[in-house]
Amino acid sequence: MKNTAIVGTGSYVPEHIMTNFDIEKFLDTSDEWIFTRTGIKERRIAEKDQATSDLCKVACERAMKVAGVTASDIDLIVLSTITPDTHCPAGSNWLEAKLGCTKAVSFDVTAACSGFLFALHVADKFIKSGASKTALVVAGEIMSRVVNWKERESCILWGDGAGAAVVTESENGAQILSTHIHTDGAAGDTLLMPGGGSKTTPISYESVDNGLHFLKMIEANRSFKVAVNRFAEACEEAMSVNGYTVHDADIIIPHQANLRILQGMAKKLGVPLEKVYMTIEKYANISSATVPIALDEAVRDGTIKKDSLVLLTAFGGGLTWGSSLIRW
C-alpha cells in the first residue's frame, strides 16, 4: 500500500480582530462571562469583500510553498466548508480557479466541525488507491456570516479563517498512519442551519425573519457530553489501531470547540491538558478550519518536531466525528 504524507501546511486568519470587549458594546455580555464559559478572548472576522475561497487561497499558497509544489502539481482539491462562496458552483471550484490548478479535480466535503478530517480521509484514500498523486486538503469558514449576532449564547463562539495541507504519496514528510471518520445522522438536529436547503427554498421573508439561515445550537448541555465522549472515542480508536495508547501521543490537536469540552476530553482520556494544543482563546471556533490552523501553528512554533506522534481529532454537527494519527 502506498505511503501518504503531509509535506506542507499553511493557514490564514483575517487581520480584523473582534475582542470580547468589542462584543460588550452591542450585546448584553462581558469579557468575563464569555471567557469563563468558553475560554475565548477574541476571534478573527473576514472583511466584507472576502469570500471563503479567498481565505483558503492564502492558506493553500502557504502550504504549497512549504511543500515545494506548484499549481500544476496539484491534481486533487478537497475543500471542507459549511460556508462556501456559493452552493453552486462548489467553493472548491472557485478555489481551484483562483489558485490556477488547471489539472486538479475539486469538490467540497460538508461535515461541519469535523470536515478537515473527512477531507483528509478522502484525500488519503484517493492517493492510496492511485487515483491522485498530490492533493490540497483545505478547510475554510466565514462563520461570522451565519451566526445571529443578537444571540448571546452562540454568536460569541465563532470566528473566521482557513487552513490547508499538501498531501502526497511519499515515504518522506509527515506520515499519515491512519484516518477514521464516523457519523450519526439521527442526532443531526442538535447543531444545524435550518434554512438554505430544499426544505426552505425559495428563501422567503418568513424564513429570514424566523432566523432559519443562522446556525443554531440545540440542547447545548447534551451536545457537550456527547462531544467529550466522541472526542475520546476517536482518539482511542486512532491510537489503538496503530498499536499505541493515548499516552503515547506527543501532542493532541482537537477541534477548538470550547475550552470546557477540551478540558473534559483531556480528563476522560487521562492525559495532561498540556498535551492538548489550543488556539481557542485567540481564534474562537472556526468550525472545520480549527484543526488545520492549529496544526500549522504547532508546526511553525516548534511544538511539533521531527518524529512527533500527532493525534488529530474533531467532533461536529451531523453528528460527525473523526481522528487521524500522524508521525511527523
Domains of the chain: 4-172 (3.40.47.10), 178-327 (3.40.47.10)
Enter the pTM of the model: 0.94
Q: What would the mean pLDDT of 138-149 be, rounded to a whole number? A: 93
Handedness of CA 228, 232, 238, 239 (dihedral sign): positive
pLDDT tens sequence across 18-51? 999 999 999 999 999 999 999 999 999 999 999 9
Place of cell 473534559: 264
83-97 pLDDT, tens digit each = 999 989 999 999 999
Sheet holding 160-169, edge to edge: 105-109, 76-80, 134-142, 160-169, 4-12, 174-183, 320-327, 309-316, 251-254
Q: Are 120 and 321 in contact (CB under 8 A)?
A: no
Q: What pLDDT is recorded for position 219?
A: 54
Q: What angle do CA 279, 246, 135 make, to 5 degrees?
A: 60
For the record, the C-alpha cell of 193 comes out as 442551519
Pick from 269, 299, 326, 291: nearest CA to 114: 291
Contact 306, 221 (CB under 8 A): no
Task: Return the pLDDT at 82.
Answer: 93
Q: What is the pLDDT of residue 220?
A: 53
Residues classed as catalytic: 113, 255, 285
b/e string for 56-89 if b means 16 or more Cβ within 10 A?
bbbbbbbbbebbebebebbbbbbbbbbbbbeeee
